Structure 1
Amino acid sequence: MGPDALHHIAVIGGGIAGLAAAYRLQGVVASTPLRITLVEATDRLGGWVRTDRWGDVLVEAGPDSFLATKPAARALAIELGLGAELVGLRPGFESAFIARRGRLEPLPEGFSLMIPTRLRPLLTSGLLSNRGKLRLALDLLLPPRRDDEDESLAAFVRRRLGSEAYEWIAQPLLAGIYASDAEHLSLLATFPQLRELELRHGSLIRGALTQRRSRARSGSGSTFLTLRGGMGTLIEELVRRLHQVDVRLGDAAILLSECRGGYRITLTSGHDLDADAVIIATPAYAAARLLEPLDRELTRLLEGIPYASTATVTLVYRACDVAPVARGRGVVVPVAEGREVTAVTWVANKFEGRAPPDLAPVRVFLGRYGREGILELPDDRLVELAREELRGLFGLRAEPLHAIVHRQARSIPQYLVGHLDRIKEIEARLAVHPGLFLIGAAYRGVGLPDCIAGAERAARSALSAFQLEASGIS
């Protein structure tokens, strides 16, 4: 990594994607003189992934888990020696609830995503009217749409399952992932597997039944995984392993320009970095500002990816105060309910080891796409708003012992209809600039496994340009 290095690769952005890319790149340093620099504008690494503590209570600032069916995050955790720290969802609290007209209705047993796979729980559910249940069952008879056009998630769910199923089941479940208005979210960019079920099986219900039988035969484990000490453990271990990376904290990249067959990065410190390849791991809007002098069309395309802002309020109660109302893992709240809250998680019911037995942390999610103004409220008002929502939903009037507010400003990219076409255009523009890569949640998946997989692909591509190969990248 010294001055005799043959090549220099710079990574801009120290969130999970940037860290994963830098970690993969350093896999060749032992055998090849390669210099790696990681530039992060803030004073810490990890981005939205962070675990705070209040005494023995774990408090997640960002995501509390990752999808187990996508292998990249789990594989990285195991590689980092954290395999024994992986834990799944806590058994015995499988139920989830949906707020409907002042009541908390359980999501019928057997639902996979938003698709029913068992008849009896659906028939006895109070979530849908009899008319809504019949319309949902019509999915078994409706022919699939055969063209290749994208459509909104809302339009797709209404077409297959009906308006009631969308409003009271699909919309709140989807909002919990994207904090968005599904009227504008791209089906093909967010849930292409739903479109595949329709085309392959002619029906979402038939397809989901087939998948359920397959999972039963394979004995699949928990859908979501976390780390015993919180998701921040993954960041801490990645950072600890970056012993061959020059990490620069608190120094933002403000300009990227071409220079002698490579790139020059201008930093707020006034220093310049010259690199043969650059991996940009910032949000799309930050990448757009950085790239504007280099490629106006690429900037325009990146600026067209909007973001949602949200806030989470974690309230720590005495377990005895929460026990009477803390059923299942939590509640999602449809837009039709007219509330600021989008979801509530009973943290200790979701994962073991989050708090001592006598304490019960409750995570309240506020804000969604189009409601960004909520982040302008002061902390004490957000805490009071969270408590008002808990009183309205559960009648929980106890005084919390502690409150922690986390703001996620412009944190969740919105994959609008046509998003994949935009990504193809972005990739075409990048082809004009060899050695330039964009990674992160804005492009091909918002979850941690997607970000890690994208980072590993970019690292592999950057190294291949120099006829190098990184260990651990499949």
Structure 2
Amino acid sequence: MTQAIVLGAGISGLSVALELQAQGVDVKVLEASQRPGGAIGSIRHEGFLAELGPHTVAGSNAAVETFLHRTGLSERRLVANAESKRRFAVRDGRVFALPGNPMDLLKTEYLSGAAKLALLREPLAGPARDDVDESVTMFVKRRLGEEILEYGIDLMINGIWAGDPNRLSMRHAFRKVWGLESDYGSLIKGGIKKAKAAKEDPGPKFSKELFSFPEGNQELALKAAAMLDVEYDANVVALESGKKWSVKFTQGGKKRSLKADLVVSALPGWVLADLPIDKMSTGFLHALNYPSLAVETFAFKREDVDHPIDGFGMLVPKVENRRILGALFTSSLFSGRAPDGYVTMAVFSGGLRDPQMSQMPRDARRKIVLAELADVLGVHGSPVWEYESYWEEAIPQYEVGHGRIVVEIEALERRHPGFFVSGNFRDAVSVPDLIASGTELGQRAAQYLD
């Protein structure tokens, strides 16, 4: 008999379900679409590969290693090429290689002398008030100055959140960086002390190298789902509590229901916010902001791109007044993403910085994107292949006040025993962190059944 039902077969739901299964729990996963993975998906076409969402798994942790072992993916791990450590950014219309170490930082022309001095003065900056949930803008200006915000941190926001530094909460959107100040009083001092402590820690060490798989990140979802009892085209319409939880859903035009001792929601926040649940209100999740995002993968002949695109990718600060957020040089990241003689890149646009860009007709957006690639990277040929993925609700923004949403989720779980909430709107958005948080929640849910 089904003991647990997981709603959603994205990476969070799959991680929860795998852990429950490993704990001996009879678990079923209900997925509304026709495939597992949520935002994770890959398209292969005549030697080219495009990712629908995340292009890399950004390092490992204990939960990731367990996930890979359980799914048999450990030996299929494809580590990023060495040149992926090189990152680029645009300033004054030029593409600069970003500094990769302190010596490069001193020599780079990307930042002014004043910005470099501001970095050196960072340990002298005063602390924040404990009762203030600072925006990223407030935090960075206070500790590092405006130029670092505009030409440094803004790049991170583009690459991770496609968000707005004036709205993102430093405490929640960049929790580890925020912790350096709260724990050590300085980002630089904290970084040095944490690096030293990690080196001296006798515990297991996990690689920070980026990786993926020969057929893309979809392998994560496909392998995990193949090990689980997953029902697709299962659109959940209501939950009811009682001695057991009852999940009502439609599938193939028919109404169905299942009962279980516990339910884990790994649905997107905007879906859970509107789901009718007996004696429960999830409307507070409407406070989450999900901007739209367009991801366009282009393949070009190598000779049609002037820039060597020999790195991870290129990010574009807002102050450059361009429409694209950045581009990943996907054929440089991993082998097997393009045939010999060709290159691929994934270009991002939209987000909170330019919502009109992602929402305009595809042909109009494509024209703008290709024009900017021509201007910045010297692309002068037509794409030989292209693929677009459009996300109407992309990355949930951890904005100022996000802590109240987390508190509400925790209170919801306490008031309704046997109901658990997982997902990228709670406390993590990267693939490794989602696997870790999903695994931890699976352990917590299994303990509930004991």
Could you state the TM-score of these two structures normalised by the residue count of structure 2?
Answer: 0.91
1:427 deviates by: 0.8
1:386 deviates by: 2.1
Superposed CA deviations along residues 56-90 of structure 1, whole A, max 9, x for unmatched, are: 22211110112215442343113322112223321
Find the counterpart in structure 1 of residue 59 from structure 2.
68
What is the alpha-carbon distance in structure 2 between the residues aligned to residue 364 and residue 215 of structure 1?
35
What is the alpha-carbon distance in structure 1 between the residues aligned to residue 261 and residue 388 of structure 2?
41
Find the counterpart in structure 2 of residue 154 from structure 1.
137
Alpha-carbon spacing, 1:18–1:130, altered in 2? closer, same or farther (3 Å): same
What is the alpha-carbon distance in structure 1 between the residues aligned to residue 372 and residue 200 of structure 2?
41
Superposed CA deviations along residues 8-31 of structure 1, whole A, max 9, x for unmatched, are: 3211112111122222223355xx
| Equivalent position amino acid for 1:282 in 2 | L
- SS of structure 1 residue aligned to 2:434: helix
- Equivalent positions of 1:48-67 (< 5 A) are 48-67=39-58
CA contact (8 A) 1:346 1:361 kept: yes
Find the counterpart in structure 2 of residue 108 from structure 1.
99
Aligned CA-pair RMSD: 2.4
What is the alpha-carbon distance in structure 2 between the residues aligned to residue 35 and residue 70 of structure 1?
26
Superposed CA deviations along residues 275-327 of structure 1, whole A, max 9, x for unmatched, are: 2211111111101111465323xx23211111122111110111232364424
1:191 deviates by: 1.9
What is the alpha-carbon distance in structure 2 between the residues aligned to residue 159 and residue 409 of structure 1?
34
- Equivalent positions of 1:71-220 (< 5 A) are 71-110=62-101, 118=102, 120-145=103-128, 147=130, 149-211=132-194
- SS of structure 2 residue aligned to 1:454: helix
The answer as to 2:260 corresponding to 1:265 is no
CA contact (8 A) 2:307 2:378 kept: no
Match of 2:224 among 200, 216, 238: 238
Could you state the TM-score of these two structures normalised by the residue count of structure 1?
Answer: 0.87
- SS of structure 2 residue aligned to 1:38: strand
CA contact (8 A) 2:330 2:344 kept: yes
Superposed CA deviations along residues 171-202 of structure 1, whole A, max 9, x for unmatched, are: 12222101100211112212222223224443
What is the alpha-carbon distance in structure 1 between the residues aligned to residue 191 and residue 146 of structure 2?
20
1:264 deviates by: 2.2
Find the counterpart in structure 2 of residue 384 from structure 1.
367
| Equivalent position amino acid for 1:263 in 2 | W
Q: Percent identity?
A: 29
1:35 deviates by: 4.3
CA contact (8 A) 2:350 2:359 kept: no
Match of 2:14 among 14, 19, 32: 19
Superposed CA deviations along residues 355-374 of structure 1, whole A, max 9, x for unmatched, are: 22222111111111263343
What is the alpha-carbon distance in structure 1 between the residues aligned to residue 438 and residue 305 of structure 2?
41
Give the number of aligned pairs.
444
Structure 1, unaligned runs of 5 or more: 111-117, 468-474
What is the alpha-carbon distance in structure 2 between the residues aligned to residue 220 and residue 360 of structure 1?
31
- SS of structure 2 residue aligned to 1:427: helix
The answer as to 2:272 corresponding to 1:313 is no
Alpha-carbon spacing, 1:293–1:93, altered in 2? closer, same or farther (3 Å): closer
1:347 deviates by: 1.0
| Equivalent position amino acid for 2:53 in 1 | G
Match of 2:315 among 324, 329, 332: 332
Superposed CA deviations along residues 368-417 of structure 1, whole A, max 9, x for unmatched, are: 12633434334333332321120121221111101110112212111112
| Equivalent position amino acid for 2:244 in 1 | G
Match of 1:444 among 418, 427, 438: 427
Match of 1:39 among 9, 30, 33: 30
Task: Tell me whether 230-239 or 34-43 shows the greater mean CA deviation.
Answer: 34-43
Find the counterpart in structure 2 of residue 456 from structure 1.
439
CA contact (8 A) 1:89 1:222 kept: no
